[in-house]
Amino acid sequence: MKRMMKLGVAFAALVAVSCANCEKPAEVKSASDVVVENILTRRSIRDYKAEPVCREQMAKVIECGLYAPNAMNAQTWAVRVVDAPDFIDGVTAIAVEQMPRLAEQKGFRNIFRNAPTVAFVACPEESYSGEYDCGLLSENMMLAAWSMGIGSCCLGSVVPVMTSEAAKPYLERLQLPEGYKLLVGIAFGYPADEIPAPTPRDMAKGFYVE
């Protein structure tokens, strides 16, 4: 116990020194370095290997989503993860029937950007904070996934397909609570290609005011 305390004090002293000087050896990454790097290197991935995301990893990703901040902890969200090929291929067939040109895309396998695993996120139709809460949940999931080498891409485009009459059986399979609307699909999978370069951001969109 004493030894543990000594170690703790030594660690605290080390942290205090490195905080005061804001300097550390180049090869040592602090926890905040790792978190910031994870946020800044995440990209929307639009092509995936065929193998579904390991369910154990996906369980952790879902857990991270469900730990997102949300108004009054009302948890006005529902997440459903699908890796069943018949589901993914079935919805894709409906989409292709509705928009035949989709299938002309190079390497096209499915409408989820070829992802083998898809999360569907929904919130109550009438809700003060549902969409906001689900946005935070979605980003938590995508960042958690990225930290595990799993790519992702938010897909608003799949909502009209999923909510079309032809896809009703698939929407029902999601077992969303009564009165919930589907907000987005999120593709998940191991990236097939090189990670794309960052899309530019307008840094003038955020600043201090005095």
Ligand X SMILES: Cc1cc2nc3c(=O)[nH]c(=O)nc-3n(C[C@H](O)[C@H](O)[C@H](O)COP(=O)(O)O)c2cc1C
Report in angstroms the alpha-carbon separations of 164 from 69, 91, 110, 121, 182: 31, 10, 17, 17, 12
Instruction: Name the minimum Å distance from CB 22 to ligand X.
Output: 28
- Verify binding: residue 106, ligand X, rule CB under 6 A: no
Interacting residue with ligand X among 18, 24, 38, 44 (CB under 6 A)? 44
Both tokens of 28, joined, read 């040592």
Applying CB under 6 A, which part among 22-30, 81-89, 123-131, 148-156 lies near ligand X? Answer: 148-156
Instruction: Name the minimum Å distance from CB 152 to ligand X.
Output: 9
Q: Where are the alpha helices (DSSP H) in 163-201?
A: 168-173
Is the CB of 43 or the CB of 80 nearer to ligand X? 43
Pairwise CA distance, residues 160 & 96, whole Å: 13
Is the CB of 11 or the CB of 108 nearer to ligand X? 108
Pairwise CA distance, residues 46 & 188, whole Å: 10
Pairwise CA distance, residues 160 & 117, whole Å: 19
**Among residues 111, 101, 143, which one has the least CA distance to residue 46?**
111
Interacting residue with ligand X among 184, 186, 188, 190 (CB under 6 A)? 184
- Verify binding: residue 153, ligand X, rule CB under 6 A: yes
Is the CB of 104 or the CB of 178 nearer to ligand X? 104
Residue nearest to ligand X (CB): 157
- Verify binding: residue 38, ligand X, rule CB under 6 A: no
Distance of CA 171 to the CA centre of its chain: 20
What is the number of residues in the chain? 210
- Give the interface with ligand X as residue ranges (CB under 6 A): 43-44, 46, 153-157, 184, 199
